[in-house]
Amino acid sequence: SAVISQKPSRDICQRGTSLTIQCQVDSQVTMMFWYRQQPGQSLTLIATANQGSEATYESGFVIDKFPISRPNLTFSTLTVSNMSPEDSSIYLCSVALGTEQYFGPGTRLTVT
């Protein structure tokens, strides 16, 4: 398995601002993922972030709104840009070890 940390654990932000979420893993991994989990809902994949290449976004998610960085094999950031109340969610990063994925604790974002 892998130990994954996220910062911040939670935040309350005003609409129109941006928040950058950090994800750190304790070992080198090729594939990292960012998910959104709206209140009481399931997990929806935002994008796949491989080191050394551009992130691949899922349908309904665009780079201008959710820019992602992946500077090395243990770290990634997700920025939620120009936030609106509809962006209030839990944002989760995960890493792939073989076919298994391990998740971080999540960042709970509230946009007012």
Where on the chain is the footprint of another protein (CB under 8 A)? 1, 4, 31, 41-45, 48, 92, 96, 99-106, 108
Amino acid at 80: V
The answer, yes or no, to whether the previous bond of 67 is cis (omega within 30 of 0) is: no
Residue 17 vs 62, nearer CB to another protein: 62
Is the CB of 17 or the CB of 30 nearer to another protein?
30
Smaller CB separation from another protein, 75 or 102? 102
CB 42 within 8 A of CB 54: no
Tell me the closest approach of the beta carbon of residue 16 to another protein, in angstroms. Answer: 28
Token pair for 44: 């929806």
CA distance 63 to 106: 20
Amino acid at 45: L
Q: How far is the CB of 23 from another protein (least distance, A)?
A: 11
